Structure 1
Amino acid sequence: MTEAAERRTNRRGQASRESMLDAALQALASGAPGSVSGNRIAKDAGATWGTVKYQFGDIDGLWAAVLRRTAERRGTLPAHAAPHGTLAQRVAAILDILYAGLSSTDSRAIENLRAALPRDRAELERHYPQTASELASWQKTWITDCQSAFADLDVDPARVREVALFIPGAMRGITSERQLGSYIDLDEARHGLSKAIVAYLQG
Structure 2
Amino acid sequence: MTTSAAGSAGHRPNRRGSETRQKVLSAALDALATGDPTAVSANHIAKQVGVTWGAVKYQFGDVDDFWAAVLGYMAERRGQLELRPDPEAGLEARVGQIVDLLWLGLDTPDVRAMNTLRGALPRERDELERAFPKTAAELAAWQSGWIESCQQAFADLDVDPVRVREMAAMIPGAMQGLTDERHLGTYSDMDDAKRGLRNAIAAYLSA
**Aligned residues: CA RMSD:** 1.3
Return the match for 2:89 from 81, 85, 104: 85
Residue equivalent to 2:128 = 124
1:184-199 aligned at under 5 Å gives the runs 184-199=188-203
| Post-superposition CA distance 1:66-98 (Å, at most 9, x none) | 11111121147333x434311111111111111
Alpha-carbon distance between aligned partners in 1 of 2:202 and 2:193, rounded to the nearest angstrom: 14
Residue equivalent to 1:6 = none
Larger Rg: 1
Q: Which has the higher contact order (CA 8 A, sep 6+)?
A: 2
Q: Could you tell me how far 1:48 is from its partner in structure 2?
A: 0.9
Residue equivalent to 1:48 = 52
- Tell me, yes or no, if the aligned pair for 1:27 and 1:41 is still in contact at 8 Å: yes
Letter in 1 for 2:130: R
The change in CA–CA distance for 1:191 and 1:60 in structure 2 (over 3 A counts) is: same
Could you tell me the TM-score, scaled by structure 1's length? Answer: 0.91
Q: Could you tell me how far 1:187 is from its partner in structure 2?
A: 0.8
Alpha-carbon distance between aligned partners in 2 of 1:55 and 1:23, rounded to the nearest angstrom: 15
Query: What secondary structure is seen at the aligned counterpart in 2 of 1:40?
Result: helix
| Post-superposition CA distance 1:156-198 (Å, at most 9, x none) | 1111001101001100100000111111111110000000111
For structure 1, list consecutive stretches of 5 or more residues without a partner in the other structure. Answer: 1-8
Residue equivalent to 1:177 = 181
- Tell me, yes or no, if the aligned pair for 1:77 and 1:149 is still in contact at 8 Å: no
Alpha-carbon distance between aligned partners in 1 of 2:53 and 2:108, rounded to the nearest angstrom: 27
Query: What secondary structure is seen at the aligned counterpart in 1 of 2:14?
Result: helix
Residue 24 in structure 1 maps to residue 56 in structure 2: no
- Tell me, yes or no, if the aligned pair for 2:33 and 2:112 is still in contact at 8 Å: yes
Query: What secondary structure is seen at the aligned counterpart in 2 of 1:78?
Result: coil
Q: Could you tell me how far 1:137 is from its partner in structure 2?
A: 1.2
Alpha-carbon distance between aligned partners in 2 of 1:31 and 1:196, rounded to the nearest angstrom: 31
Q: Could you tell me how far 1:33 is from its partner in structure 2?
A: 4.8
Alpha-carbon distance between aligned partners in 2 of 1:84 and 1:65, rounded to the nearest angstrom: 38
* Structure (1/2) with the larger helix percentage: 1
- Tell me, yes or no, if the aligned pair for 2:37 and 2:120 is still in contact at 8 Å: no
Alpha-carbon distance between aligned partners in 1 of 2:51 and 2:15, rounded to the nearest angstrom: 16
Query: What secondary structure is seen at the aligned counterpart in 1 of 2:36?
Result: coil
Letter in 1 for 2:189: D
| Post-superposition CA distance 1:15-51 (Å, at most 9, x none) | 1111100010111111235201111100112211011
Residue equivalent to 1:157 = 161
Could you tell me the TM-score, scaled by structure 2's length? Answer: 0.90
Q: Which moved more, 1:31-40 or 1:112-121?
A: 31-40
Return the match for 1:138 from 137, 142, 145: 142
